[in-house]
Amino acid sequence: MSTITGGCLCGRVRYTLTGEPIYSYVCHCRDCQRATAAPFAAGIAFPASSVSLQGELKTFDMAGGSGQTAHRNFCPNCGSWVTGSSNPDFISVLVGTLDDPNLFEPEFEQFFGSAKRWMHAESDRVRYPGRRT
C-alpha cells in the first residue's frame, strides 16, 4: 500500500494514509462491538505521522482492555467512528471508512474469547483470546 483514502458517511471527515501499515486486525471486544453496533471492529494501524486528517472529529475516551485510555474519534455530524488509538505513536483507521475496503486483510483477531459463536469461521489468522500484546 502506498496511499489510501477514506472518510466518514457524510463526507465531512476525510483522511489520507501514506506508507505501510503497522498491522491490521479484527477486534471482538465488547467495547468495539458496542461502538460499531456490529459483532466486531476491523482496523488498520498506521504510524501517526502517516495519517493526514481533514475535518473535525469528536473524541470519546474510556479505559480500554489494556488499562490505557482508548480514544474513539468520530464525525460529529454523522457519527461514523473513523479512527481510534490508545498509543500516541499510531492511529487505527476503521476499515468501513476506507474508500476501498477490499484493501484490508486482517493479520490477527483479538478478544476472540468475546466473539459471537456464529462468527467462528475457518481462518488461518492468529486468534488471541484477549488483547494482543
Q: What is the mean pLDDT of residues 46-61?
A: 97
Q: What is the pLDDT of residue 15?
A: 98
Q: How confident is the model at residue 93 (pLDDT cuts 50, 70, 90)?
A: very high
- Give the chain's domains with CATH numbers: 3-116 (2.170.150.70)
Predicted pLDDT of residue 111: 79
The confidence score (pLDDT) of residue 119 equals: 67
3-state secondary structure the chain: CCEEEEECCCCCCEEEEECCCCEEEEECCHHHHHHHCCCCEEEEEEEHHHEEEECCCEEEEEECCCCCEEEEEECCCCCCEEEEECCCCEEEEEHHHECCHHHCCCCEEECHHHCCHHHCCCCCCEECCCCCC
User: pLDDT digit string (tens) for 12-47?
Assistant: 999 999 999 999 999 998 889 999 999 999 999 999
pLDDT of residue 9: 98
